[in-house]
Amino acid sequence: MVDELPARIRRGYALGGVATGVYGTVPSLLLMPYLTEELGVGALLAGLVVFAPKAWDVVCNPLAGRLSDRVRRRDRRRPFLLVAGPLMGVGLAFVFTGPSAPFLLALAWVLLANLVAATAYAFFQVPYLAMSAEVTGDCGVRTQMMAWRVGVVTTAIAVSGVVAPWLATTAGGYRTMGVLAGLVVLAGSLAVWWCTRGAPVVRAESAGGGLRDQLRIVLGNAHARALITALVLQAAGTSMLLAAVAYAARVLLGDTATGSYLFAAFVLPGVLSAPVWARLGRRHGKKAGDLVATAVLACGLVAMLGAWSGSLAWCLVWSAVTGAGYAGIQVFPLAMLPDVAAHDARTSGHNRIGLFSGVWAGCELLGFALGPGLLGVVLAVGGYEGGLDAYDTPARLAVLAGTSVVPSALVLVSLAAIRAYRLDEALRDVPSGPAPAPVA
């Protein structure tokens, strides 16, 4: 079956990637350096400050999904985009525009603003993801939507990842960067809300059951469990890499400006490779595509172990390979999640789509929090101190471990979880679309 979903909605849906891409990139790249280099926070404490609000989202995201599942109006997900998106932008701007002294006030400001932004992100991201399972019943259309979304996300990541560090370090400082990033997030959230007006809803199952029972069912779903396990491992590995880029540029390559070059080399292949990954998924299946993308990502991360001791050109080459793999692991899991949620709704007769999205987004943020948190631990073990002009061997090895060794190990382990996913094969023989709810 092929849905006649208007192109305006297919492509307009992708614009939400502007908000999520910028929000995900700017703190991942710059919050740790902002805390350690600008505010003088120790590496271990900085890692905890980054970790805490995202760990809170493990609780907040399922709640956001459950609340959006229970909204009765036809466009039940879109009102969340209109309210939470702008609040997410404001929270992000506040993270980088607070006082720098006294120390405890500055630290509390960052922690509170980050908590507000993370909560708003939950109430934006979860309904946003749930929409993809409700506006179409066709698996192929979902893959196309996710390919468009990943293209937009990777573009947003590329632009913000190059421009934000430049603004923070050379042209206006962290305050200017934070305000501009917040405005872009606000604009992206309003754009997706506007462009998805009139979107159809092909699933109308009732929410049913209490939150605790529904969470137990979602986490007990074998298909979801495999995807979520891989998600946490990959999110932790890639967020650790992204947080380590600024340190690698400073400590290993001796020039902070190279961080922007490395990041550009990482994300630009993602923009170009997203359509390739989508075609691979249509031809060989989403699971096969995800395995290939993960293997490419792991190869790039492993190769980076030797790249940091070589030339900048060599580093750029392997950053590009890593970035291409990263784009793939964005396309396929985000296309498989709606399949799992829609399959559950079709077989159970209950709408847990938002809750699936909430658990997914919460676990993704947990992984994103674990990455910088692990980096903080590794840097602390290596005795890293911010603001120095030269670093001893333990500090250099700690940065190298955070850039390559630990991220590659996490991504390689995720391959086992992906192999346990079975729904992709089953869906090839099952017609798409909603099934009637069971008769009581």
Question: pLDDT by residue (tens digit) across 228-253?
Answer: 899 899 999 988 888 888 788 878 77
Confidence category of residue 94, pLDDT binned at 50, 70, 90: very high
63-89 residue pLDDT tens? 887 787 777 667 778 889 999 999 999
pLDDT at site 435: 41
Share of the chain above pLDDT 70, in %: 87
Answer whether residue 265 is part of any domain: yes
CATH number at residue 164: 1.20.1250.20
Supply the DSSP symbol for 197: T
Arithmetic mean of pLDDT, 362-385: 83
299-333 residue pLDDT tens? 988 888 775 665 677 788 888 898 889 888 887 88
pTM: 0.69
Arithmetic mean of pLDDT, 125-148: 75
Structure tokens at 331: 């396309």
Structure tokens at 347: 């077989």
Answer whether residue 355 is part of any domain: yes
Q: How many CB atoms neighbour CB 291 within 10 A?
A: 21
Arithmetic mean of pLDDT, 90-112: 92
Answer whether residue 294 is part of any domain: yes
Euclidean distance between CA atoms 406 and 366, whole angstroms: 17
Answer whether residue 238 is part of any domain: yes
Long-range contacts of 203-206 (CB under 8 A, 24+ apart): 203/133, 203/134, 203/137, 203/342, 203/345, 203/351, 203/353, 203/434, 204/351, 204/434, 205/345, 205/348, 205/349, 205/350, 205/351, 205/434, 205/437, 206/349, 206/350, 206/351, 206/437
Closest CA to 35 of 22, 24, 19, 48: 48
Answer whether residue 282 is part of any domain: yes
Answer whether residue 192 is part of any domain: yes
Confidence category of residue 425, pLDDT binned at 50, 70, 90: low
Answer whether residue 4 is part of any domain: no
pLDDT at site 387: 63
Beta bridge partners of 206: 350
Q: How many domains does one find in the chain?
A: 1
3-state secondary structure of 428: coil
369 vs 398, residue with greater confidence: 398
417 vs 387, residue with greater confidence: 417
User: What distances in angstroms separate CA 100 from CA 103, 105, 305, 372, 376, one per listed residue?
Assistant: 7, 8, 36, 21, 21
Answer whether residue 2 is part of any domain: no
110 vs 254, residue with greater confidence: 110
The boundaries of the domain holding residue 265 are 13-427
Confidence category of residue 129, pLDDT binned at 50, 70, 90: confident
